[in-house]
Amino acid sequence: MGLRSYFLFLMAPSGRRPCEHLAAITELPEPANHVCQECVALGDSWVHLRLCLECGHIGCCDSSKNRHATAHFRQTGHRLIRGIEPGERWVWCFEDEQAIQL
């Protein structure tokens, strides 16, 4: 068992298998910018930004008024996001509701 798999095993909620989607991450893309375009179009602000690891979409977090990152998951099924705020080193899987600290 590799270090990442071991870490995922430790983080999996009791009685649940570790998320295989998180275990398959091989690279973390850098964001093209640091804005939630949907919030900009609405004239709104955001709290934190999240990057979709499948397509690069940047959306605002669930603490933000519009929750565009979660809306993106619901519309596309893209399950993996990462925090892109300074100091954030984690990835979240919407489908399995599990995270990994990197």
Q: Give residue-wise pLDDT tens across range 18-74.
A: 788 888 887 788 898 999 999 999 999 999 999 999 999 999 999 999 999 999 999
Query: What CA–CA distance (Å, rounded) separates 60 from 9?
Result: 28
Q: Are 54 and 80 in contact (CB under 8 A)?
A: yes
pTM exceeding 0.85: no
What are residue 72's phi and psi, to 5 degrees?
Answer: -60, -45
Query: What CA–CA distance (Å, rounded) separates 43 from 7?
Result: 40
Say what the pLDDT of residue 32 is. Answer: 87
Q: Which CATH number fits domain 3-101: 3.20.20.140, 3.40.109.10, 3.30.40.10, 3.20.20.150?
A: 3.30.40.10
Say what the pLDDT of residue 12 is. Answer: 53
What is the pLDDT averaged over residues 6-23? 64
Sign of CA dihedral 58, 90, 22, 71: negative
Tokens for 66, please give them: 């519009």
